[in-house]
Structure 1
Amino acid sequence: MGTTPSHRRLRSGGLAALKTLLDLPEETRAGWEIVLFEQRRSVGGVWLPDPPGAPTGPPELPETPLYPLLHVNTPHPTMTYPNFTFPPGTALFPGWAALQQYHEDFAVHYNLTPYIRLNHTVVSANWHSHPPEGDWHVEVHTHLGGAEDEYVLRRTFDHLIVANGHNHFPCVPAWNGTEEWLANTPLGRPQREILHSIYYREPQKYAGQNVVIVGAGASGRDIALQVSPLARVAYQSISDDKDTTPGARVIRKPRISHFTPDAIVFADGTTLSDIDTVLLGTGYENRVPFLSAPHASTLHTDPAPTVNSSTARALTNNLHYIFPLHKHIFSLAPELPPTALAFVGLPVLIANCPSDNAQGMLIAHALANASLLPPREDMLAELLAREDSLRGRGYDPYLIGHRLLDGDTEAQDYQDALVEFLKKRGVLPDDGKKYVEPWRRTARPASMLLARAWKRVEALGEQSRWLEGVQTEDEWADLMARMADWQREWEEEHGEAAVALDFHVE
């Protein structure tokens, strides 16, 4: 595969991957056709709200899990693409609308929109091998408005970059007895419900109800904070190693064991018989439908596979972990050339925009010159070593999946390693600096402290004073450092519990 092909077609996913492809020198991508198919009406991913009038209840899956009270859970400067800040005056922990606008602004600023096809759903992508290479046969359905605007598009591409996100396919635990419990609503009470957080929108719906909130992740904690003040009684069902949500008015319960027609039975044998609604903050399954059966055969989806990264002949997905992949990006399945298929955004517990950008840079340069990547056997050996390292630390890599651990350290080191690899290969200048700036490494672990600080700033009405004149990355970094020091000094005297948060921060 040459570095300057006469014609190369790329189906790109994600704004970061698109930008990094377009950042390549024009002579490198001469003859390339690059297109990004976006299923929704605009960019922004989960930050783009439901379309007007769209159903948000079962059995249909909503387009987004976004709820109106959603705020970011880390300071926005730590979430940005490099060298592209939020507008001056943006609250340090803004609501969802600022995030959606940020992604739209990014696409416009870097002139990405001519390459984006909105309202285009990729239905299937099948690899056709004709050695030494091959191509993707991709089927796309358009939905531009009226029935006359709907049609099927079939295209071939040399490379496929997948960036379809994490938060679309709910993980719903299978408990015995749920149907009987749901069918046995007591007289005079609201119809019983078991609802995943993807359908959650307004806490007012649960006013006066008895509610069980399952989970202690970001969604479970947000729901606990929002619903518990309005509910008659709110319980939070969590595992023994988790804490209930700070600031939420909840009663702790262990994991749910099963349901009877009259009650919810918990792992410790206790029961609750007066519950109206069970809200599930139980996360999402990692699915890529257009690569999987019945639409395609590239990605074998099996919740309990009998293969692992060293034995899999096809790319495999156990709903937690897609394997084997190099650096969470390139397929190492023997049936595909390593640069035929790449993923952007699989890592979890990481700042997505800077991480996606680092991944995009590696992808762009590898597509321009596949010889940049190590031999497949070396990449596989590196993957197996990482999995062994996780086992040595007490983790099952096939359950941990693409989560990056050790607080924020592994996430930052991961991004640095991607860019450092390109510097060592000579395709990026070695400026002697890490990709992740020191201020990002400092600010993300301080998210809780900064959230308490910002809450106090809002209570004092001092937002304008703090935000005045702050525009550049360095100025945002300085603001966060000053605010963290200000809050630490205050908490030394008053204690951190004096500031209550009404949204969850990770």
Structure 2
Amino acid sequence: MSKRAREYLVSLEEVVSVPQARIPWQALWDGYSDDHAGQTVLSHAVPVESQPSKSIAIVGAGSGGLAILKTILDLPAEVREGWEVVVYDQRLDVGGLWLADPPGPPPQPPVLPESPVYPLLHTNTPHPTMTYPNFTYPPYTPLFPSHEYVQKYHADYAAHYGLLPHIHLRHSVTAAKWIGDAESGKWDIEVHELNPKHPRAEPVRVLKRSFDHLVVANGHNHYPHVPQWNGTEGWLAHTPAGRPQRELQHSIYYRRPEKYRGRTVIIVGAGASGRDAALQVGKVAHVVRSIRLVASGAHLTFSQVYQSLTPGTEPTPGAIVVPKPRISHFTDTSVVFEDGTALADVDAVILGTGYEFRIPFLSAPHSSVLAVDPATALNSTTAPTLVSNLRYVFPLYRHIFSLARGLPPTALAFVGLPVLVANCPSDIAQSLLVAHALANASVLPSRDEMRADLVARERALRAEGLDPYYVGHRLVSPSETDHDYQDDLVEYLKRVGALPRDGRKFVEAWRRHGRGEARLLGRGWERAVALGLERVWLEGVETEEEWAKLLYRLADWQRAYEEEHGTPVEQFISYE
């Protein structure tokens, strides 16, 4: 075993046993006093003599924020000379959604958790396919790791590349206003410095800064989408005598299955969190799954969606999961489904119904940059400003640059909006385009060309039976996969001379293979673990090339087993 592997195994024992242990700023917080909380409003101006040649604010220190920060810092020193790059994140550490909530009782509605992470959360794709280019997970990392490993990976990335000095943790951006027009201007940004011990209390101080560019990289798994049904209040108010209080909650509040032991539970949703909840709660409760369609279009039917998800959502033997149609409404006594059937003994409904694209600091009352209207009739050709219908932020060029008429395209960029992607490599591909455009705006096509490109892509989705304003940022088009999207972004930069032409695709063949064979690899990994072969498979695997070879070998091993033994029994836990 290599020295790096030994050191990592020792450090990992500490991290996994105490998930919050890796807090490099803990000593500062332990000495923090509450005496000054909320007493100062500070206008934080940069002295004239030290004004940067370009100032960039990045919101979020998760996968996307780290990607764009690293990519900007990778620009040649002479290009970014005099630049100021600042990252604000309201969390205690980097890692975004992978950083679990601080210890203590979980919040209850309407207060939102800081993270949707639950203790049993693992990845649902092998980690080598999820990595930043040329930065692997450490040796002996399980192929489908728990969230602690993923958060530590992001923290290691930030430390390794010297990103931490640019990151201001426990700093929440509350307002960002564009002061200018379609040609030039500045961002006036308000930031609340939070009390690290009591982040929901009044801010320690309020910072007001001016920036040339704003990059939004704060993710899209924070504001839960909660469907509205008639009768929920009456149903919640009429809990039968002798039964626990009825519950209707989004999966962002889900933590452990033991809470539902012996209860009858409906899981609403066909996404990753819904599958996880169905499997985990299914071990201790009677579970009924209500499947909600995850895409629109006549070519998708209920049975197709159901069958494609069933293999990954089978519970362990003894658990009962009964597929049901969508919920129609509630009565005081029952949950009624669209086929007219009803269940009268339901104790809890867990909503694995996804999240909404909300960016409060860009929206009213804090800003007028982004209008939020779920029922909007506007589209990318008629929207005067940026609009979110809660599924889709538009008009954006390639899910990145704002095409709103009131500000220059490079004034506002988004990193990390695409859904159903491997975030780290996708975020790097997007960040390459953003970084080079910030250095030289002429890298981008004209505003008219970018808007025409957007309209053409929306038209292509419609031709495939998909509504772009429903699909949103989900890269589900058969004609443009998530890997194609990343390759296109990088290839464009090569065509315009921003990157050298090297004849290679951005997304390596082994990443495509690993993502495409994720279920097969999952079954193989579960079998390897069950046979006690986990360390055997991981022995000597350190480099990116070695991880890639492991994926091919494991897929071949499992495929041969399944061909010999017939149809596989789907036992692999589907992780988020």
Q: Deviations over 1:451-482 (max 9, x none)?
A: 00000000110111111111111110100001
Q: Deviations over 1:357-405 (max 9, x none)?
A: 0111110000000011110000000000000000011111000001111
Match of 2:209 among 147, 155, 165: 155
What does residue 56 of structure 2 align with? Answer: 10
- Aligned residues, how many? 500
User: Are 1:140 and 2:191 counterparts?
Assistant: yes
Rounded Cα–Cα distance in structure 1 between residues aligned with 2:264 and 2:248 = 12
User: Are 1:337 and 2:411 counterparts?
Assistant: no
Structure 1, unpaired ranges of 5+: none
Match of 2:291 among 232, 238, 246: 238
Q: How far 1:54 moved relative to its partner?
A: 5.2
Change (3 A) 1:409 1:315: closer
Rounded Cα–Cα distance in structure 2 between residues aligned with 1:497 and 1:446 = 14
User: Are 1:262 and 2:317 counterparts?
Assistant: no
Match of 2:225 among 159, 171, 174: 171
Rounded Cα–Cα distance in structure 1 between residues aligned with 2:479 and 2:559 = 20
Rounded Cα–Cα distance in structure 2 between residues aligned with 1:445 and 1:138 = 42
Q: Secondary structure at the match of 1:284?
A: coil
What does residue 287 of structure 1 align with? Answer: 358
User: Are 1:444 and 2:515 counterparts?
Assistant: yes
Match of 2:103 among 44, 47, 52: 52
1:107-126 equivalences under 5 Å are 107-126=158-177
User: Are 1:300 and 2:367 counterparts?
Assistant: no
1:339-418 equivalences under 5 Å are 339-406=410-477, 410-418=481-489
Q: Secondary structure at the match of 2:409?
A: coil
Q: Deviations over 1:30-87 (max 9, x none)?
A: 1111100011000011110111225332121000110000000000000000000000
What does residue 314 of structure 2 align with? Answer: 247
What does residue 187 of structure 1 align with? Answer: 241
Change (3 A) 1:225 1:407: farther
User: Are 1:69 and 2:120 counterparts?
Assistant: yes
Q: Deviations over 1:212-248 (max 9, x none)?
A: 11111101100000001100x2101114343245322
Contact 2:89/2:168, CA 8 A, preserved across alignment: yes
Letter in 1 for 2:110: P
Q: How far 1:497 moved relative to its partner?
A: 3.0
Q: Secondary structure at the match of 2:134?
A: coil
Match of 1:82 among 122, 127, 133: 133
Structure 2, unpaired ranges of 5+: 1-50, 60-64, 293-301
Q: Secondary structure at the match of 2:481?
A: helix
User: Are 1:463 and 2:534 counterparts?
Assistant: yes
Q: How far 1:495 moved relative to its partner?
A: 3.2
Rounded Cα–Cα distance in structure 2 between residues aligned with 1:148 and 1:293 = 21
What does residue 254 of structure 2 align with? Answer: 200
Rounded Cα–Cα distance in structure 2 between residues aligned with 1:155 and 1:280 = 39
Q: Deviations over 1:152-171 (max 9, x none)?
A: 00000000000111111111
Instruction: Note the aligned Cα RMSD (angstroms).
Output: 1.6
Contact 1:171/1:283, CA 8 A, preserved across alignment: yes
Rounded Cα–Cα distance in structure 2 between residues aligned with 1:407 and 1:265 = 35
Q: Secondary structure at the match of 1:170?
A: coil
Match of 1:27 among 49, 53, 78: 78
Change (3 A) 1:330 1:131: closer
Letter in 1 for 2:313: P
Rounded Cα–Cα distance in structure 2 between residues aligned with 1:207 and 1:413 = 44
Match of 1:434 among 493, 496, 505: 505
Rounded Cα–Cα distance in structure 2 between residues aligned with 1:300 and 1:380 = 19
What does residue 271 of structure 2 align with? Answer: 217
Change (3 A) 1:149 1:341: closer
Change (3 A) 1:407 1:277: farther
Rounded Cα–Cα distance in structure 2 between residues aligned with 1:177 and 1:148 = 37
Q: Deviations over 1:414-456 (max 9, x none)?
A: 0001111111111211111000001111110100000000000
Q: Secondary structure at the match of 2:313?
A: coil
Contact 2:314/2:570, CA 8 A, preserved across alignment: no
Contact 1:408/1:444, CA 8 A, preserved across alignment: no
Rounded Cα–Cα distance in structure 1 between residues aligned with 2:110 and 2:75 = 44
Match of 2:549 among 478, 483, 495: 478
Q: How far 1:498 moved relative to its partner?
A: 3.3
Q: How far 1:306 moved relative to its partner?
A: 2.3
Rounded Cα–Cα distance in structure 2 between residues aligned with 1:59 and 1:130 = 37
TM-score (ref. length: structure 1): 0.96
Q: Deviations over 1:96-117 (max 9, x none)?
A: 1000000000000000000000
Q: Secondary structure at the match of 2:574?
A: coil
Letter in 2 for 1:441: R
Q: Secondary structure at the match of 1:402?
A: coil
Q: How far 1:407 moved relative to its partner?
A: 6.4
More displaced, 199-208 or 9-18? 9-18
Letter in 1 for 2:211: F
Contact 1:165/1:345, CA 8 A, preserved across alignment: yes
Rounded Cα–Cα distance in structure 1 between residues aligned with 2:105 and 2:175 = 25
Rounded Cα–Cα distance in structure 1 between residues aligned with 2:248 and 2:330 = 11
Letter in 2 for 1:237: S
Rounded Cα–Cα distance in structure 2 between residues aligned with 1:54 and 1:338 = 43
Contact 1:226/1:502, CA 8 A, preserved across alignment: no
Rounded Cα–Cα distance in structure 2 between residues aligned with 1:455 and 1:496 = 16
Rounded Cα–Cα distance in structure 1 between residues aligned with 2:547 and 2:492 = 29
Rounded Cα–Cα distance in structure 2 between residues aligned with 1:9 and 1:62 = 32
Contact 2:385/2:406, CA 8 A, preserved across alignment: yes
Contact 2:191/2:206, CA 8 A, preserved across alignment: yes
